[in-house]
Chains A and B, each alone.
Chain A
Amino acid sequence: AQSVAQPEDQVNVAEGNPLTVKCTYSVSGNPYLFWYVQYPNRGLQFLLKYITGDNLVKGSYGFEAEFNKSQTSFHLKKPSALVSDSALYFCAVRDITGGYNKLIFGAGTRLAVHP
């Protein structure tokens, strides 16, 4: 079965410092990987995805993610964190068992950026 794991419940970082939110995956076949962000009382917003090609994927709001096949990881990164980046971040993998596309999400990582 496809799965993703987010090993950190919370990540704390100072504004202006680089941030990393970790995700590891377990899939059969080629992984389709996604990052979403959730702000309070709002739905999930799509940040970026990896399907194939360059291992470094660039997304919205200055975020990027690095796909590492040997480590089965897809960590989310940003060179310089903003206080407004504070939110809940979800890693997800596409699951097509059953024949149709759906997303399997991790439990989420809360990012807190301190001024």
Chain B
Amino acid sequence: DTGVSQDPRHKITKRGQNVTFRCDPISEHNRLYWYRQTLGQGPEFLTYFQNEAQLEKSRLLSDRFSAERPKGSFSTLEIQRTEQGDSAMYLCASSTLDRGDEQYFGPGTRLTVT
């Protein structure tokens, strides 16, 4: 396994701009998750994909947030009209039921909104 990768690792943007993050899961993992982690807190669930289907979204995921997983491979998370409150670490994780369904996390994308 090459592990979960995320790009970019850091993003600084001005309030009101749109940003997009990418996650490449472990290749055989059909389940993909996005979490958000703010300073001093544990990660909070945002959304879940099984293959290409987005099956669950948290109430934390406002209308400004959208996620996709075309073809069931990589995933993107877009934030429109960013706000300072969006500053956080965005973590992606993947899993497969065949291997115990433990979630394996990427290094995260740290977003700073100025």
Contacts and interface: CB of A to CB of B under 8 A. Distances in A.
A34 B43 CA distance: 13
Chain B: interface secondary structure? strand
- Chain A interface residue number, banded: 20 to 34
Interface string B61-94: 0000000000000000000000000000001010
Given A49-B102, A99-B56, A107-B40, A43 B4 contact: yes
B45 A102 contact: yes
Interface residues of B, number: 27
B28 interface: no
B91 A34 contact: no
A46 B104 contact: yes
Tell me whether chain A's interface is mostly helix, strand or loop, or mixed.
strand
B53 to A, nearest CB: 10
A43 B106 contact: yes
Contacts of B100: 49
Contact of B108 (A43, A45, A90, A106): A43
Contacts of B45: 95, 102-104
B28 to A, nearest CB: 16
Interface string A76-102: 000000000000001010010011111
A110 B48 CA distance: 28
Nearest to A47: B102
B13 interface: no
Q: What are the 8 tightest A-B residue pairs by CB atom distance, in nearest-first order?
A: A105-B42, A43-B105, A44-B105, A102-B45, A43-B107, A100-B56, A46-B102, A43-B106
